[in-house]
Amino acid sequence: MVSTNDFKTGLTIEYEGNIYQVIEFQHVKPGKGGAFVRSKLRNLRTKAVIDKTFNAGVNVNTAQIDKSQMQYLYASGDTHVFMNNDTYEQLEIDKSMIESELNYLTEGMSVNIITYEHELLGVEMPDKVILEIVETAGGAKGNTASNAQKEALTNTGLKLLVPLFVETGEKIWVSTSTGKYDSRAK
């Protein structure tokens, strides 16, 4: 059990039969009435985000989330295969569970598989990943405006905007939280 006064970003709780992760929270002490905690919670099963207000000091159950590091091996139809590097045990995950993560997954990449009481919840990606540009338009000559960008396609199928100097075949860092170009990879 944890008090709503002790909420922290990233904390996982059980509430109304679902498992939520605290994304944001704010303690509010109005002039009249009791204090309360305004929070933004992500449902770890459906990925939906809800706003929830709790009275200050209310206790909620914590949820013990297990993370195990696994390596992404390959896609086989609509399933994707991951392997535990310690036990060599393989796990198949359906495409529908990791739809957005597929934009960043490349073979051989290490990720965390998230489970709750043996229930698979999904894949936790690193903050940034290296992707290769497979197609991009040429930059317009003389276009030296600051922050000028062009569309590019990566080896995972992700379409994003990159600076004009990025060419086909280059490797770039991409933020997995925003899906945006971060920098060139060395």
pLDDT in tens, 85-126: 899 999 999 998 898 899 999 999 999 999 999 899 989 999
Confidence of residue 141 (pLDDT cuts 50, 70, 90): low
At 82, the amino acid letter reads F
Q: What is the pLDDT of residue 155?
A: 93
Confidence of residue 53 (pLDDT cuts 50, 70, 90): very high
Domains of the chain: residue spans and CATH: 2-62 (2.30.30.30), 66-124 (2.40.50.140), 128-184 (2.40.50.140)
Residues 7, 36: Cα–Cα separation, whole Å: 12
Nearest one of 170, 148, 143 to 161, comparing CA atoms? 148
Q: What is the pLDDT of residue 142?
A: 57
Model-wide pTM > 0.85: no
Q: What is the pLDDT of residue 47?
A: 86
